[in-house]
Chain A
Amino acid sequence: MSKLRIEDLKRIKESMAGTVNLRAGDQRVKITVHMGTCGIAAGARTIMNTLLKKLEESGANDVMLTSSGCAGLCNHEPMITIEDRDSAPVKYVNLNPEKAARIFDEHVMNGTPVSDYALSMGSETTH
């Protein structure tokens, strides 16, 4: 039987002692991976895996990574939306892991949108 060991969770809990958790909505950047049927079929989960790995490597604690449903632009999947507190949200389309990694490095970490992959600059926000 493969089961999470309580000791492992305790270890994580202890390592977090004294650190402050940002509440949802307090993050500097919110990344939304569009995870509708269309997105999933086009590879959205691979994009989520890539971004999760980048997030882990960066050690950033002010970036929220989440998912949403179909955005109505199914032929442009996989898509992500980046909402940076200081600028307009950007939708990125027709992604692959390499593009997603570049967007993470340049937009999420450095605040410079990657216009090469952007569908549009500025749309609805949920941040």
Chain B
Amino acid sequence: MRNVCPTEMIDLSLHILDIVENSTKAGAKLVEIYLSEDAEKDLLQIIIRDNGIGMDREMVKTVRDPFVTTRTTRRVGLGLPMLEQAAKEANGGLSVISKPGHGTEVRVTFQASHIDRKPLGDIASSIITLIMGNPEVDFIYESDLNGEKITLDTQAIRAELEGTTTITDPAVLKLIRGLFM
């Protein structure tokens, strides 16, 4: 065994980390992440919305094809195609809505109970990694997994800290991780 690290996108939390990194690379100052699971509807949904530079219609058309986008112009590479594949394998789908200057919204659905639906994984680590790597970006995270709700807004945390320490302070990150325990 080379190491204990995964060698593929083994769960949805890694996909979320990857897609939100796209948002921050697109200059987003605020990224909203919504995650919901409804056993009655047998539906798992992820919505990622950012206020980054957005994409024009042509770009949105090609953004899900790993072979059409080119490295010099793309702002999204293999990440979206891989997430779309994961969704399709679980009887779901992916849509992208974007407007230049306004931002991008990615919606992904899965049949929650599908045998090939990837597990959620370690959402807390993804959120903390995003905060560590993008200290200038704010994040809103809300999840409702069959009634179990978590809500997090880094703008509110920053406001409460009043500049006495940063949001990347280990003590603050520990509190954030505690939300997911």
Assembled-state Cα–Cα distance A43/B135 (Å) = 21
Assembled-state Cα–Cα distance A6/B129 (Å) = 22
Given A2-B179, A40-B9, A41-B8: A16 in contact with B165 (beta carbons within 8 A): yes
What's the count of A-B pairs with C-beta under 8 Å? 134
* A66 lies within 8 A of chain B by Cβ: yes
* A93 lies within 8 A of chain B by Cβ: no
Segment with Cβ contacts to B, from A45-53, A84-92, A102-110, A119-127: A45-53
In chain A between 2 and 53, which residues have their CB closer than 8 angstroms to a CB of chain B?
2-4, 6, 8-10, 12-13, 15-17, 19, 21, 24, 33, 35-37, 40-43, 45-49, 52
Nearest B residue to A69 via CB reads: B25
Q: Are A66 and B133 in contact (CB under 8 A)?
A: yes
B1 to chain A, nearest CB (A): 9
Assembled-state Cα–Cα distance A21/B132 (Å) = 16
Q: Are A40 and B17 in contact (CB under 8 A)?
A: yes
* Chain B interfacial residues counted at CB < 8 A: 51
Q: Are B4 and A66 in contact (CB under 8 A)?
A: no
For B151, give its contact among A2, A12, A37, A43 (CB under 8 Å): A2
* B172 lies within 8 A of chain A by Cβ: yes
Encoded as 1 (CB less than 8 Å from any A CB) or 0, chain B from 4 to 41 comes to 11111100001001100100010000000000000000
Complex interface: chain B residues within 8 A of A67 (CB): 21, 129, 132-134
Q: Are B176 and A4 in contact (CB under 8 A)?
A: yes
Q: Are A21 and B14 in contact (CB under 8 A)?
A: no
Complex interface: chain A residues within 8 A of B152 (CB): 3-4
Q: Are B166 and A21 in contact (CB under 8 A)?
A: yes
Assembled-state Cα–Cα distance A69/B22 (Å) = 9
Assembled-state Cα–Cα distance A102/B172 (Å) = 25
* A82 lies within 8 A of chain B by Cβ: no
Q: Are B179 and A4 in contact (CB under 8 A)?
A: yes
Q: Are A97 and B126 in contact (CB under 8 A)?
A: no
Point out residues on B near A: beta carbons under 8 Å. Answer: 2-9, 14, 17-18, 21, 25, 77-79, 82, 122, 125-126, 128-129, 132-135, 148-152, 156-157, 160-166, 168-176, 179-180
Contacts A41-B9, A46-B4, A67-B132 aside, 11 further interface pairs with beta carbons under 8 A come to A3-B179, A4-B179, A9-B161, A10-B160, A35-B17, A35-B129, A41-B8, A43-B7, A45-B14, A47-B5, A65-B132
